Amino acid sequence: MAETTQTKEQFEPRIIGFLCNWCTAAAADLAGTTRAQYPPNVHPIRVMCSGTVDPMYILKALLSGADAVMVGGCHPGDCHYVSGNYKARRKIAMLKQIFKSLGLDENRVWLRWISASEGPEFAKFMREITEETRKQGPSPLASDWTV
């Protein structure tokens, strides 16, 4: 696709979202059924729990050309599997630290708790992450064939 050669003015961020089945994916559904308007830049991938998202998948998305990656889970204490979201938080804290240590951009990795009832919150977050990523510009990894 020609996206990689886009200039910043017409830059449309491509974002991968890993959404927990029980909360954030349900919130996405609710946002849809309530006809909330939000940008379509986040490509959702439903997972059973935010805790199942191995950092490898986040890295793979970023190295394959995603401009940002988000993981959405249940609020602390509300995990369907009791503690998966706490484990997700540790994994992402670690991934972000590794990015920081290596001088990579940790701000392209997002974690957000959005519960099943928070359809409007979901729509709001979609706007937030899209606009923030648009401000950051295309990920340098997205057009680098050597990564």
Partner 1 sequence: MTKSAILEVKEGKTRQAVNSFLKDLFAKNVVEAMLVPLAHPSGTNVVQALISDPSHVDQADVFAPVMPVNSAKILQAMTRLTPVDRKTAIVIRPCEMRAVVELIKLKQIQPANLLFISIDCPGAYSTKDYPKFAAEKKTSDDFVKAGFRWAEDAQLRAGCQICEYPYPLTADITIGMLGLEPGQLLLIADTPRGEEALKTAGFTLETDSATAQKRQAALARFVPEVKERRKKFFEKTKEEIGGIEKLTQVFATCIKCQNCRAACPVCYCRECVFVSPTFELESEKYMRQAVKKGGIRMPADTLLFHLTRMNHMANSCVGCSACEEACPNDIPLLKIFQLTGAEVQELFDYVPGRNVEEPLPAAAFLEKEFQEMGEKK
Residue from 31, 59, 116, 126 binding partner 1 (CB under 8 A): 59
Size of the site for partner 1 (CB under 8 A): 45
Identify the three-state secondary structure at position 127: helix
Name residue, tokens 């997972």. Answer: 47
Which is nearer to partner 1, 8 or 56 (by Cβ)?
A: 56
Strand partners for 113: 73
Residue from 34, 48, 76, 137 binding partner 1 (CB under 8 A): 76
Least separation, in Å, of the C-beta of 65 and partner 1?
A: 5
Identify the three-state secondary structure at position 65: coil
From 15-23, 26-34, 36-44, 57-65, span contacting partner 1 (CB under 8 A):
57-65
Q: Decide: is 43 part of the binding site for partner 1 (CB under 8 A).
A: no
Are the CB atoms for 50 and 91 separated by under 8 Å?
no
From 15-23, 29-37, 41-49, 82-90, span contacting partner 1 (CB under 8 A):
82-90
Name residue, tokens 């939000």. Answer: 38
Q: Does the CA dihedral 128-130-134-136 come out positive or negative? A: positive
Burial readout 42-54 (b: 16 or more C-beta within 10 A, e: otherwise):
bebeebebbbbbe
Tell me which residues touch partner 1 (CB under 8 A). 1, 4, 54-56, 59-60, 63-65, 73, 75-77, 83, 85-87, 89-95, 97-98, 100-104, 111-113, 121, 128, 140-147
